[in-house]
Amino acid sequence: MSTHLVQACAAVVGPSNVLVDGADKQAFEQDVWNRYRGNAALVARPGTVDEVSKLLVVAAEHGASVVPQGGNTGLVAGSIPDETGRQIVLSLSRINRIRHVEPRGDFVIAEAGVVLADIQKAAEQVDRSFPLSLGAEGSCQIGGNIATNAGGLNVLRYGMTRGLILGLEVVLADGTIWNGLRSVRKDNTGYDLKEIFVGSEGTLGIITAASLRLLPPQRDRQTIWLAVASAEAAVDLFARFRSHFGDLISSFELIHSNGVELAVEYLEGCRRPLSDRHQWHVLIELAWALPTGLREQTETFLEQLFEYGLCEDGTIAESEMQRLNMWRIREGQSEAARKRGVVIRSDVAVSIERVPGLLHAMEEWTKAQDTDILFMPFGHVGDGNLHCNCLVSPHVVGEIEPRLLEALYDEVTQLGGSISAEHGIGRLKSYSVGKRKSDVELRLAHSIKRLLDPSSILNPGVIFGTASSEAAPAAALVEAPLRTKTA
């Protein structure tokens, strides 16, 4: 690592905001599940947009590349550096002010480093809601959410992050600051430039602030847990809920019994919402702005479902504690599974009616292998988005993971789906995505990258990768206990 580079960065952000010691850098070099680790030249922690701009100029002068990092909760190793020791991790955590909340105009302007949960709270304080919600909302940052076009639990009703953005402030690769922080709903004055940066995973510019849509508050919410015999039954149920409740459904989640049992066994205080075991479970959330009345509507509808035998059993959360228990099972099953082995994760999408076929094909694939594989899929079935996760022993993960993912991606591609529904490409999927894209799509994507980042300073290796970069995105680690967040 060059001393000149360290000194130049320190001149921009101050010496205390340049981390060079191994122990200080570690949390920024390792992914959230401690599976992958890189090696950074240094970690720079700018406190202003101007400092971000100057850091990019410094990086270019020293031939260093830059890895923007938000909450570092990304699941495709896009926010950690590669192994070369030549990349700068640029942490946005100190650029974290909420600049303005405007309930009459229904928008909030927040800096990139604001933690998602803090934006939700700021919206609640003015009797509005910010509907983006995901398991990592206590540590992921809005800049990272935009850079990954995050999905989460309410996509069914509100769409992906993209649909919540009115304007952006971005620092371009050459240090130019683009102030596109508009708050209007309608703006057809040419190309919608902000769209290029949404989902660009730090490869086209560094997002420093965003103008975000606020929505009406949801005052009455009903959370329902139903048991069904099959994935087909869950998809049928979704169609019936959709016909009856329309846009009042914010979440419709499918969970396999293997995940439920792991959560109940390993997560402290977690209980099975229904006393008997069932093969498949559906977690549904309905909400509206009126203060009361939804409970009655829900009960009447559920009675009909039971009368026609459309689900095996079910319950409505009677308290916030019961509701949180249901969501803890949904959100915590991977964490629970890690107590028993290594989780092979995936994030794919097919059109909703094809969900059962995909699950069936993958379950058969796992059964046909010589190794013990615990199939524990779950997902946002209302979006056709599945995490076909599998639990395996650490001794076999290296051999089975690439084969399993390849089989899954082939199946999904054949079904006309996407091999990365909401987590992005990062370093982990660059090759697999690239080889399945058409030449036209790849050519256009490379042209945009060359135009905005001609020297490839911004997050090289992410999105555009090679077979070897996907096989070894950074040093692969044996899965270790989830680290406590420090950044």
Ligand X SMILES: Cc1cc2nc3c(=O)[nH]c(=O)nc-3n(C[C@H](O)[C@H](O)[C@H](O)COP(=O)(O)OP(=O)(O)OC[C@H]3O[C@@H](n4cnc5c(N)ncnc54)[C@H](O)[C@@H]3O)c2cc1C
Contact between 260 and ligand X per CB under 6 A: no
Stretch that binds ligand X, among 65-73, 355-363, 393-401, 442-450 (CB under 6 A): 65-73
Q: Which two tokens stand for residue 255?
A: 């969970």
Rounded to 10 degrees, the C-alpha dihedral 352/358/359/364 comes to 170
Candidates 35-43, 74-82, 118-126, 238-246 — which segment interacts with ligand X by CB under 6 A?
Answer: 74-82
- Collapsing DSSP to helix, strand or coil, 373 comes out as coil
Residue number, nearest CB to ligand X:
144
Structure tokens at 266: 């390993």
Place of tokens 């199946």: 411
Residue whose entry in the numeric block shows the structure tokens 């921009």: 12
Report the side by side order of strands in the sheet with 220-228. 313-316, 220-228, 280-288, 249-256, 378-380, 385-387, 348-349
Nearer to ligand X, 347 or 411 (CB): 347
Phi, psi at 416, each rounded to 5°: 80, 25
User: Comparing C-alpha atoms, which of 112, 1, 4 is closest to residue 58?
Assistant: 4
Nearest-approach distance from CB 259 to ligand X, in angstroms: 14
Other Cβ atoms less than 10 A from the Cβ of 71: the count is 25
Q: Are residues 275 and 227 in contact, defined by beta-carbon separation less than 8 angstroms?
A: no
Q: How many residues bind ligand X (CB under 6 A)?
A: 36
Q: How many CB atoms lie within 10 A of CB 188?
A: 5
**Binding marks (x or -) toward ligand X, 327..346, rule CB under 6 A?**
--------------------
CA-CA distances (angstroms) from residue 479 to 339, 343, 449, 474?
10, 9, 33, 14
Q: Which of 65, 56, 71 is nearest to 178 (CA)?
A: 56
Crossing angle of helices 355-367 and 397-414, in 10° steps, is 150
Q: Binding string to ligand X for residues 89 to 118, with x set by CB under 6 A, is what? A: ---x-------------------x------
Among 39, 53, 65, 73, binds ligand X (CB under 6 A): 73
User: Which one, of 165, 21, 145, lies nearest residue 92 by Cα?
Assistant: 145
Closest CA to 123 of 107, 104, 134: 107
Token output for 417: 């789906």
When asked if residue 198 is in the footprint of ligand X (CB under 6 A), the reply is no
Which member of 110, 181, 198, 207 binds ligand X (CB under 6 A)? 207
The kind and range of the H/E element at 216 are none
32 or 165: CB nearest ligand X? 32
Q: State the DSSP H helix or E strand holding residue 170, giving kind and residue range, or none if neither.
A: strand 165-171
Q: How far apart are CA 159 and CA 151, in angstroms?
A: 7
Report the residue number, 169 or 311, with the smaller CB distance to ligand X. Answer: 169
Binding mask 459-478 for ligand X (x = CB under 6 A): x--x----------------
Single out the segment in contact with ligand X by CB under 6 A; choices: 96-104, 301-309, 421-429, 436-444: 421-429
Q: What is the DSSP letter of 85?
A: S
CB of 283 to ligand X, least distance (A): 13
Among 30, 145, 211, 346, binds ligand X (CB under 6 A): 145
144 binds ligand X (CB under 6 A): yes
Q: Give the residue, chosen from 38, 81, 131, 143, that forms a contact with ligand X under the rule CB under 6 A.
A: 143
**From 111, 201, 285, 411, residue interacting with ligand X (rule: CB under 6 A):** 201
Between 281 and 423, CB nearer to ligand X: 423
Q: Which of 9, 19, 58, 75 binds ligand X (CB under 6 A)?
A: 75
Segment contacting ligand X by CB under 6 A, of 142-150, 186-194, 225-233, 443-451: 142-150
Nearest approach, Cβ of residue 281 and ligand X (Å) = 17
Which residue do the tokens 């697999």 mark? 432
Binding mask 422-461 for ligand X (x = CB under 6 A): xx--x--------------------------------x--
Strand 87-91 with 165-171, pairing: unpaired
| Placement of tokens 């009903």 in the chain | 222
Between 196 and 407, whose beta carbon lies closer to ligand X? 196
CA 132 – CA 151 distance, rounded (Å) = 7
Q: Write each residue from 369 to 408 as x if it is in contact with ligand X (CB under 6 A), else as -, in one continuous string.
A: ----------------------------------------
What is the contact mask toward ligand X in residues 24 to 63, using x (rule: CB under 6 A)?
--------x-------------------------------
Residues found near ligand X in the complex (CB under 6 A): 32, 67-75, 78-79, 92, 112, 134-136, 140-141, 143-145, 147-148, 150-152, 201-202, 206-207, 422-423, 426, 459, 462
